[in-house]
């Protein structure tokens, strides 16, 4: 039997709070008089138990993992059910259970669910995952913490009927409107999306929130149990508290696989524990023993200077300079700068910032490379830069695509066996792949948006570089298969590898996994704006470090996972707290 206080009415759905309190109070008193108040048996700990030191009551699971529509395939769910079930003694065991489902029309919470005859539990869970956007892993864990039916050898009809505990108040009968396995799974998943989409309609929201330890915190007067103020950090955690409105107290956490005291509740504790035991840490892999630094300034120009100063404390023979107000011409500059271990400093289009000039003087370079034409980096800026080094040149073209080709030819005069392709329509994929290109010794060429065939100039550039392998950043929507095929057909290049993902963060992580299976350090920069990432890509490539992209207030799980798997020991966060907030610095994941 599962240890939890997780049967509940859904707050705000059908019953007034006053009515709920009245029913809850009566039920608790009746149970106490009967001498059977909430007794339960704790499941035994697995061979590799969860570590309570990883538990954060304000961050039970990352949004990425909770709202993952591709967490498990149907086959994986079925295999999981088979692996967890005991020898089955009735037809309610979820590895053999089937139910005819009904079609549910699309809503703001879920896409359409098409009903069918005799659907397996695995198929129902998979289809709800896709339709409602709630991870099948989260659904499986909820089924277990509610009714223990994942590991039961003989689930009761009642357990199947109220499988997710949806519409079930703490101390009153469950609402028959929500009876049935499919009905429970679908409706609970839709409710979790309702919590996310309408957060102001529910008690528990992101931020500082008071959370009860136990029903006796509010249904008994005076209350015998108290509450605690938690910093709820994300939508998924807020949703779990709206679904099961109690947090574990110290006694229940002290005995993670058992029971606590009279004020202990277990639903959200058990959600975290079951998820950890079955699928790993629900807040993502956490880096340990990582040295952290921050390179930042009051502006993008100062941040580029801070990166340069940290990476090149004794100077640099070459300095690259690109405009800081627009990304296009600078996208291909990072791998070229990395090749010669040069910083990439940013400038205003019409005036060289004083702090950038001071940094160039400190670096005392022998040469400066200006990226972009006169309309991007003005003659006045170029002339000023010319006074700071014995040699200066401008790598430019009529557009970003020609500029990238000219940078490649100028920076790789002896050729480049491997060339990287990225969309020129946006910056994230190009910057993520720039660090990889710099580390692996190849240029980045940019692809026009929607292009289905490479132009003659690109084909000539690849021929001049003696290229034998292509690495494509992003999926087919970024760089089309037809475009790549046209290159292979025209040049005979046989080796093509594509690394992409569902978004810029997954794409960057896939690129980093390819280019940096192991790395001593990593650079984390904003995935929402380009300047810091532009300068960071050059330093990352030169130091053979991945460039990891982040959101402002949390690190995507895939970003953290890529660093953990590469065994990164040092992380440099690029940009101030307004760009990458303290939660990012603390590896808070989303």
Helix (H, G, I), strand (E, B) or coil at 574: strand
Question: Mean pLDDT, to the nearest integer, of 451-474?
Answer: 96
pLDDT at position 325 is 86
User: Is residue 184 predicted with pLDDT exceeding 90?
Assistant: yes
| 374 band by pLDDT with thresholds 50, 70 and 90 | very high
Beta carbons of 431 and 547 less than 8 angstroms apart: yes
Beta carbons of 157 and 99 less than 8 angstroms apart: no
Cis peptide before 222 (omega within 30 of 0): yes
Q: Name the token pair of 259.
A: 């029971």
Name the percent of the chain in helix, strand, coil, to the closest 5: 40, 15, 45
Which DSSP letter does residue 529 get? Answer: -
User: Is residue 3 predicted with pLDDT exceeding 50?
Assistant: no
Query: What is the C-alpha to C-alpha distance for residues 282 and 62, in angstroms, rounded to an integer?
Result: 6
Query: What is the C-alpha to C-alpha distance for residues 520 and 514, in angstroms, rounded to an integer?
Result: 15
Could you give phi then psi for residue 99, rounded to 5 degrees? -155, 140
Which DSSP letter does residue 199 get? Answer: G
pLDDT at position 280 is 83
Query: What is the C-alpha to C-alpha distance for residues 404 and 445, in angstroms, rounded to an integer?
Result: 6
Q: Name the token pair of 589.
A: 């994941």
Residues 6+ apart with CB under 8 A from 443: 332, 335, 336, 404, 407, 408, 411, 412, 416, 419, 420, 437, 465
| 523 band by pLDDT with thresholds 50, 70 and 90 | very high
The CA R_g of the chain, rounded to the nearest whole Å, is: 29
Residues 6+ apart with CB under 8 A from 587: 286, 287, 290, 555, 560
Beta carbons of 129 and 72 less than 8 angstroms apart: yes
Buried b (16+ CB within 10 A) or exposed e, 308-338: beebbeeebebbbbbbbeebbbbbbbbbbbb
Residues 6+ apart with CB under 8 A from 173: none
Q: Mean pLDDT across the chain, nearest whole number? A: 88
Indicate the Cα dihedral angle 279, 285, 288, 290, nearest 10°: 170
Indicate the Cα dihedral angle 398, 404, 405, 409, nearest 10°: 120
Give the residue carrying structure tokens 């810029």.
Answer: 504
Tell me the pLDDT tens digit for each residue of 160-175: 999 999 998 876 889 9
Residues paired with 547 in a beta bridge: 523
Tell me the pLDDT tens digit for each residue of 257-286: 999 999 999 999 999 999 999 988 888 766
Query: What is the C-alpha to C-alpha distance for residues 579 and 573, in angstroms, rounded to an integer?
Result: 10
pLDDT at position 35 is 26
Query: What is the C-alpha to C-alpha distance for residues 103 and 101, in angstroms, rounded to an integer?
Result: 7
State how far the alpha carbon of 122 is from the alpha carbons of 90, 189, 357, 422, 518, in Å: 17, 15, 63, 39, 37
User: Is residue 289 predicted with pLDDT exceeding 50?
Assistant: yes
pLDDT at position 34 is 26
pLDDT at position 183 is 98
Tell me the pLDDT tens digit for each residue of 379-424: 999 999 999 999 999 999 999 999 999 999 999 999 999 999 999 9
E strand intervals along 128-206: none
């Amino acid at each position: 039997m599962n240890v939890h206080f997780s049967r509940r009415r859904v707050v705000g759905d059908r019953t007034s709070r006053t009515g709920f309190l009245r029913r809850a109070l009566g039920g608790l008193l009746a149970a106490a008089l009967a001498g059977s108040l909430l007794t339960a048996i704790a499941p035994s700990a697995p061979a590799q138990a969860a570590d309570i030191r990883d538990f954060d009551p304000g961050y039970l699971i990352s949004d990425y993992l909770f709202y993952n529509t591709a967490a498990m395939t149907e086959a994986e769910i079925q295999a999981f059910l088979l692996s967890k079930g005991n020898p089955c003694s009735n037809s309610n065991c979820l590895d053999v259970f089937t139910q005819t489902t009904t079609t549910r029309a699309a809503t703001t919470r879920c896409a359409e669910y098409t009903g069918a005859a005799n659907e397996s539990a695995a198929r129902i869970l998979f289809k709800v995952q896709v339709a409602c956007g709630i991870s099948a892993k989260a659904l499986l864990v909820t089924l277990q913490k509610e009714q223990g039916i994942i590991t039961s050898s003989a689930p009761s009809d009642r357990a199947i009927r109220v499988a997710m505990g949806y519409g079930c108040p703490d101390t009153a009968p469950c609402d028959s409107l929500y009876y049935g396995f499919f009905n429970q799974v679908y409706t609970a998943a839709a409710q979790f999306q309702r919590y996310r989409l309408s957060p102001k309609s529910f008690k528990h929201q992101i931020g500082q929130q008071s959370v009860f330890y136990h029903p006796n915190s509010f249904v008994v007067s005076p209350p015998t149990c108290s509450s605690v103020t938690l910093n709820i950090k994300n939508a998924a955690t807020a949703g779990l508290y709206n679904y099961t409105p109690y947090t574990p107290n110290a006694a229940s956490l002290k005995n993670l696989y058992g029971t606590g005291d009279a004020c202990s509740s277990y639903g959200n504790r058990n959600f975290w524990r079951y998820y950890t035991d079955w699928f790993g840490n629900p807040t993502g892999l956490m880096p340990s023993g990582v040295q952290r630094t921050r390179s930042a300034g009051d502006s993008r120009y100062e941040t580029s200077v801070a990166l340069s100063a940290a990476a090149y404390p004794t100077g640099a023979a070459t300095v690259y300079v690109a405009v800081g107000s627009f990304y296009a011409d600078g996208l291909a500059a990072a791998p070229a700068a990395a090749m010669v271990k040069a910083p990439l400093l940013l400038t205003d289009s019409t005036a060289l910032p004083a702090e950038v000039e001071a940094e160039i003087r400190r670096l005392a370079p022998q040469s400066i490379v200006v990226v972009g034409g006169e309309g991007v980096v003005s003659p006045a800026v170029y002339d000023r830069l010319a006074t700071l080094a014995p040699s200066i040149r401008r790598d430019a073209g009529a557009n970003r695509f020609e500029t990238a080709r000219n940078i490649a030819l100028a920076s790789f005069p002896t050729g480049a066996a491997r060339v990287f392709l990225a969309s020129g329509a946006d910056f994230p994929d190009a910057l993520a792949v720039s660090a990889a290109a710099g580390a692996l010794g190849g240029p980045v060429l940019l692809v026009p948006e929607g292009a289905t065939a490479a132009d003659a100039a690109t084909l000539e550039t690849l021929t001049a570089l003696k290229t034998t392998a292509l690495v494509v950043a992003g999926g087919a929507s970024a760089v089309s298969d037809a475009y790549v095929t046209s290159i292979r057909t025209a040049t005979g290049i046989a080796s093509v590898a594509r690394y992409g993902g569902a978004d810029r963060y997954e794409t960057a992580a896939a690129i980093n996994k390819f280019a940096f299976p192991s790395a001593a350090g990593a650079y984390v920069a904003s995935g929402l704006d380009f300047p810091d990432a532009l300068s960071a890509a050059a330093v990352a490539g030169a130091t053979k470090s991945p460039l990891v992209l982040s959101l402002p207030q949390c690190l995507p799980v895939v970003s953290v996972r890529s660093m953990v798997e590469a065994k990164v020991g040092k992380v440099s966060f690029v940009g101030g707290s307004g760009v990458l907030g303290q939660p990012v610095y603390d590896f808070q994941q989303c």
